[in-house]
Amino acid sequence: DEFRDGLQITCAHRYLEEALPGLSRARNIGIHAARAELVAFLDDDAKASSGWLRHIVEAFSQHEAAGVVGGPVRPIWAARCPAWLTPRLQSFLTIIDRGDEARLLAGEEWLSGTNIAFRTRAVTEAGLFPENLGRVKGLLLSNEELLVTRRIRELGYTVFYDPKIEMHHRVHPDRVSQSWLRRRVFWQVLSDLFTDDQLQPCRADDDIRQILEFLMKLTPRYRGAMGLFIDTDDAQLFEAQTEAISALARLLATECGDWRSFLAEGQQ
């Protein structure tokens, strides 16, 4: 295996192979195999800061009620950060900063799966990662960390953020493109609807209005479906385009009927 052969791990470790694809499934396999009280996750294109594991252990030791711990994710730009990439859209590239103070996170504040750790018993009690979410094949489904964190909170655990638990994550050049971000924003809407059964994709009038308002900002030539896919150097216009794409995703989910089953088939 090319990936395994390229690993340079000096500490004792086990390498697990899983035939079925899926990020959430792979994480669950790792949790089942874990023997320690804590489990931590990072990406294969991420670089942990000095003392990363030590700071994780310290955070759990100092906060006995914490079920989830994590920290910021700083970008390693493989290509220059473009001027049109607004702070909101940067979050879709897993760039996370909750501030310089260590604190408990509230409500729906989330941590990135690129830099997150759990008490093994907490994530197990919560039912592990939902395998109908997370990246599989070409589907950009997400929110698996959000959902498992929400369930851990419901069990009475807290979520703790510590800026010392720092991760640096490579931003691939193909993701610093408007075409990829349009896809990512579209799939985020479906992920949100997948995650929350109470969230209904039926704000048709508002969504249609939002799409039309965006299209009217364009020259007449692009005031059609093409306008949702054109690139622009204008940061505000691209922001508005991604919001219109979110509205389109909600409309399509409304019209699709049993769209959750449709997506589930695509994961097979």
Tens of pLDDT, residue by residue over 31-87, are 999 999 999 999 888 999 999 999 999 999 999 999 999 999 999 998 788 999 999
What are the chain's domains? 2-174 (3.90.550.10), 178-266 (no CATH)
| Beta carbons of 69 and 117 less than 8 angstroms apart | yes
Output 146 or 73, whichever has higher pLDDT: 73
Output 252 or 93, whichever has higher pLDDT: 93
Instruction: State the pLDDT confidence band at 10, using cuts at 50, 70 and 90.
Output: low
**pTM for this one?**
0.83
| Beta carbons of 251 and 207 less than 8 angstroms apart | yes
